[in-house]
Amino acid sequence: METKREFLKKLGLLTVGGMLGGTLKTAQASTAKSNLFPPKKSIGLQLYSLGRELTEDVPGGLKKVARIGYATAEAAGYRERKMYNYEITEFRKLAEDAGLKVSGSHVNPPVRKYTKENAGEIADFWKTTVEDHAKLGVISLVQPGMPTIESHDDAAMVCEVFNKAGEIAKAAGIKWGYHNHSGEFKRVVKEEDKEKQRNPWMPVGDVIYDLLLEGTDPSLVFFEMDVYWTVMGQNDPLEYFEKFAGRFPILHIKDRSVLGKSGMMNFENIFNKAYEIGLDEFYVELENIRENITQFEGVKQCFDYLNNATFVK
Ligand code: MG
C-alpha cells in the first residue's frame, strides 16, 4: 500500500528535506492545490441576486461573480433589446472576459393578461427577444412573472402562448421555460364545482401550476422550479419532481435568506431527487438578506454552502 508520504511525493507536495510542516506551509500547499484544481462543480447565479451592487458596475461585478467561483449566470437585465444597458454582443464579451458563461436569461413579455387578441403581439415580442438571446449565446430563456390566471380558460390561453414562445425559441436552439413563485399553487375552480367548496381544508378545483405542466408541450416548454417559492406555496418540490419527471432540467436554488440558514429547505433531498430525474443546471437566487452583509457577501456564502455540500455534484 502506498504511504501518505509516497502519495504526497507524487503530488510534489513533499520537499526533499521531508514533510512540509507547520500551519503556514500547509496553508500554502492547499492554496497551491486549489489553484491547480479549480472547483469542479458548475454552480450558477441568478444575477438578480446582486441588485444595484451589480448594476452600479457591471464589468467589475461580473468579474467578482466569477472570482467567487460561479461558472454560469442567468441574466435579469434585458430591456429594450439591451442587456444591463449594454449592447447584447458587448455584454456577452464583458461576461466572457470575466470568465463567466451567461447560460440563461429571465424576461417577461409586456402584457400580463393573455388573450386571442394580444397573442400575436406576445409572439412578436418573443421573436425579437429570442433573436437577441441567440446573440448572447444562452441555453435557456425563462419567463419569471406569472400571467393573470383566474380560470381554466385563462390557464389554457397561457399554455397556448407558452407553447408558441417555446416553438419560437426552439427554432433558434434555445430552451424556453417558466419560473414560478407561490401564486401558481393557488387553484382555479370551474363554475359547476364552486358549490362543492365546503371548507378551506378540502380544496376543490385545480392547481394552476399543474394546469401549466399538463397543458404545455414538454418538447417546447420546461419548468425552472424555484424550490423556495414552491415550499412557500405549501408544496413539496419532490412530489412535483416525481409526478412530472423530466420537466425540471433547471432549478432555482433559493432559501429565505442565505442558503441553508433558515432550516426551511431540505436541499439534500431536493438535489438527490433532482439528479435522479435529470438536472442540467441550477442557479442560486438570494433575496431579502437578513444578515448585515452585502449582496456580494451573501452570494459568496451561498456559493460556499453548495460548494462544500457533499450532495451537490
Ligand atoms: Mg427564483
pLDDT (tens digit per residue) in 2-30: 444 454 444 444 444 334 433 443 444 44
Q: How far is it, in rounded angstroms, from Cα 82 to Cα 117?
A: 27
Directed axis angle between helix 88-98 and helix 119-136, to 10°? 40
The residues placing their C-beta within 5 Å of ligand 1, an ion, are 226, 252, 285
Distance, C-alpha 24 to centroid of its chain? 39
The CA–CA distances, whole Å, from 102 to 121, 133, 134 equal 27, 10, 12
Q: Pick the closest to residue 141 from 49, 77, 74 (CA basis).
A: 74
CA of 204 to the centre of ligand 1 (A): 28
CA of 74 to the centre of ligand 1 (A): 11
Cβ-based burial of 219 (10 A; exposed 0-12, middle 13-18, buried ≥19): exposed
Mean pLDDT over 83-105 rounds to: 98
Check whether 261 has a pLDDT greater than 80: yes
Q: How far is it, in rounded angstroms, from Cα 8 to Cα 19?
A: 9
Q: How do the residues of the chain divide into helix, strand and coil, expressed in percent and rounded to 5?
A: 45, 15, 40
Mean pLDDT over 132-141 rounds to: 98
Taking only the tens place, the pLDDT of each residue in 175-231 is: 999 999 999 999 999 998 988 877 777 889 999 999 999 999 999 999 999 999 999
CA of 102 to the centre of ligand 1 (A): 16
Q: Pick the closest to residue 162 from 178, 141, 184 (CA basis).
A: 178
Least confident of 24-33, 63-72, 132-141: 24-33
CA of 122 to the centre of ligand 1 (A): 22
Check whether 120 has a pLDDT greater than 50: yes
CA of 179 to the centre of ligand 1 (A): 7
Q: How far is it, in rounded angstroms, from Cα 105 to Cα 95?
A: 13
Q: How far is it, in rounded angstroms, from Cα 175 to Cα 221?
A: 7
CA of 202 to the centre of ligand 1 (A): 29
CA of 19 to the centre of ligand 1 (A): 48
The percent of residues in the chain predicted with pLDDT above 70, rounded, is 88
Computed over every residue of the chain, the mean pLDDT equals 90
CATH number for the segment(s) 4-31+40-308: 3.20.20.150
Taking only the tens place, the pLDDT of each residue in 34-52 is: 455 555 799 999 999 999 9
Q: Is 95 helix (H, G, I), strand (E, B) or coil?
A: helix
Q: How far is it, in rounded angstroms, from Cα 226 to Cα 179?
A: 7
Q: How far is it, in rounded angstroms, from Cα 185 to Cα 1?
A: 57
Find out whether 230 and 185 touch, Cβ atoms under 8 Å.
Answer: yes
Taking only the tens place, the pLDDT of each residue in 264-304 is: 999 999 999 999 999 999 999 999 888 899 999 999 999 99
CA of 125 to the centre of ligand 1 (A): 22
Least confident of 11-20, 158-167, 168-177: 11-20
- Residue identified by cell 452583509 is 293
- Residue identified by cell 439534500 is 268
pLDDT of residue 268: 98
